[in-house]
Each structure stands twice: as structure tokens, then as C-alpha cells.
Structure 1
Amino acid sequence: MLEFIVKSVLIGAGATALFDLWGKFLYVTIGIPMANWGMVGRWFAHLPMGKMWHDSIAAADPVAGERLIGWVAHYAIGILYAAVLILIWGLDWTRSPTLVPALIVGIVTVSAGWFILSPGVGNGIAGSKTPNPTKVRCLQLAAHTVFGLGLYFSALLVNAAA
């Protein structure tokens, strides 16, 4: 159990960090705005208040510590996705990582953003209410593909360090 927890944390955090580096790369090279984890934190903070769907999360009441909440949630979700990967493919996958399972999990996870977070913050299903939904979808799919690559490369690093 301890091995499962440690590897989930290390692989998930590593993959999430690569996801964030990808966002920074896009911002620096072509000016794509980085994710606003404060707004994600605001959305999460409103959930216990019974508010899941917002017309605009930016117009919702601010919450103390929302940026920290967003960052913690972002990394916790990355760790959760790594745990799901390990639950499905087993700890043996972490000892001898292969690319396909990691990419499957990375790409499938974009559905949570498209069908839960995006409509929850007021952007519609898969960003349908944004000015350029196709661009949003492509960027999110690319980011989650990078997350999948991050799962794979983080597993390789964890395995090499063991």
C-alpha cells in the first residue's frame, strides 16, 4: 500500500508539473494565457456551498485562499489520475512503464475538464461558450496529452530512482 501511495504521489505530481511547464512554454513562446488556478480554486470552494454550476466563475464571490485551493486541487487531481492509472495497470506498470497506458489516462482525463470543470465555471461543455471553442479544445487535448507523457516519464524517473 505504501508503494502505491508513494508512486501515485511522485508520478502524479511529476506529470502535473510537466503539464504546468507546457503551459508556461506556450505562454512564453506564443502568448497563450496560463491556467488561472485561482478561478479553479474558487469553483472548488463553492462546491461545499452547493454551487457547482456558474454562469461565470469570475463573477462568483471570491473565496479566501482560492489560488492556493486551486493549486492544491490541481496537484491532488494529478495524483488521483496517477493512482487510477496504477490501479488499472498495476504496480508492475510502475516498475516497467510503457507509454500507451499513460497516454490513455492522459487523454481520457480531458473529459473531466470538458464535461465537469468547463461547464462548472461557465464556459459550457468543452468550452462551447468561449470565443474560440476549437482552439480551447485543441489546447486542452494537447495539455492532457502532455500530462500523459508526464505520467510515463515520471514513472520512468521513479523507477530509475528506486
Structure 2
Amino acid sequence: MSLEGFVWAGLFLGVGATLVMDLWALFVKRAFAIPSLNYCFVGRWLCHMRNGRFAHESIATAEKRPLECVVGWVSHYGIGVIFAWIFLWIISPDWLQNPTWLPALLFGIATVIVPFFVMQPAFGLGVMGAKTPQPTQTRFRSLMAHTSFGIGLYVAGAVFFWLGA
């Protein structure tokens, strides 16, 4: 696969997998009244980095930044694409010739390392959400979100294959 093909394939997989993740979050919100991560907080966190602030006591009470919601949503999908490129690099672009669910699912689950050990501590929530009111529930929700991303990688890979892309 050419570099250009790799870039486009990762873009397709990343956007598709992130969309599945967002559809899962919408289902959970509608069916169980459980809100998903506020991506405006992701944007706030990233915008504060421009001023050298990488961690917060509480991202919810940190000073709001212009366009933080736009930055958060664009970053959410951008991170999904980066994860897809990493997945293809690790598993091989040849996976797209015959997508299988297990590598995609395991990779999706593995990506929960980022919120557990980077984002949640930087947001003031502690490692693996230890400082949240219900850490076990926080961990389970993160795990389910990233599992849905893995499922989304497989679904996007299957669609990519079906389209003959």
C-alpha cells in the first residue's frame, strides 16, 4: 500500500471508528441517561496547553477558552484517525484485505490507556478516574467507549473492504 493509500485508509478507519464510538455514546445517553465525555473539556485542556498548562485541579472549573468545543470535537476525531494509523502500522495495512474483529477489538480496548493515564489525571480526575465520585463506573464507561472504538475499527475496515477501496 502506498503512503497516500495508508493515509486515506487510516482517515477512513479513524473517522468511522470514532463515529461508531459516538453512536454508542448517544445510545447510552438516550437509553440510560448516562452522559458521555464533554468534548469541550478536551478542547479546553488542549487550548490551555498553548500557555504551558497541561494538568488541572478540575478541568470543569478551569478558565473557558474560545472555540474550545470546536477544538475538542475536531481533536476527538483527529485522535481517532491517529489511533487508526497506529493500528494499521502495528497490524499491517494488509489487514484491510481481510478485516478480522479480534485485532480491532483488542486495539480499541488498549487505547483506554490514554484516558486512564493521561487525560483523566490531567483533567484532575486522578489515574483511572480514582478521584471521581464513582471510580469503578468511570473506568467501566471509559472501557466501554474504547471497546466501541475497536468495534468501529472492524466495522470501518469491513466497509472499506466491501467498497473495494
**TM-score, normalised to structure 2's length?**
0.96
Mapped partners of 2:32, 2:91: distance in 1: 37
**1:95 CA displacement:** 1.5
AA aligned to 2:152 is: G
1:45 maps to 47
Describe the SS at the equivalent of 1:63. coil
Deviation, 1:91, is 1.1
| 1:59 positional shift | 1.4
After superposition, the C-alpha distances for 1:5-62 in whole angstroms (9 at most, x for unaligned) are 0110010100000000100100100100122000110001111211111000111111
Establish whether residue 130 from structure 1 lines up as the match of residue 132 from structure 2: yes
User: What are the Cα deviations for residues 50-104 of structure 1, in whole angstroms up to 9, with x where unaligned?
Assistant: 1111000111111100000000110000000100010011110012111121112
Matched residue, 1:80:
82
Q: Which runs of 5+ in 1 are unaligned?
A: none
Letter in 2 for 1:62: K
How is 1:12-161 mapped onto 2 (pairs within 5 angstroms)? 12-161=14-163
Question: Does 108-117 or 96-105 show the bigger shift?
Answer: 96-105
Q: Which amino acid in the other structure matches residue 36 of structure 1?
A: N
Distance in 1, Cα, partners of 2:38 & 2:126: 17
Provide the C-alpha distance between the structure 2 equivalents of 1:78 and 1:117, rounded to a whole number of angstroms.
Answer: 15
Which amino acid letter does the alignment assign opposite residue 104 of structure 1? L
Structure 2: unaligned runs, 5 residues or longer: none
Matched pairs, number: 162
- Superposition misfits of 4+ residues, deviation over 2 angstroms: none
Q: Percent identity?
A: 40
Distance 2:15 2:136 in 1: 28
RMSD: 0.7
- What is the CA distance between 1:111 and its match in structure 2? 0.6
1:126 positional shift = 0.8
Cα distance in 2 between the residues matched to 1:109 and 1:153: 17
CA distance in 2, matches of 1:96, 1:47: 40
- Relative to its length, the structure with more helix (as a share) is 1
TM-score by length of 1: 0.98
**How far apart in 2 are the matches of 1:146 and 1:31?**
18
User: Aligned letter for 2:40?
Assistant: G
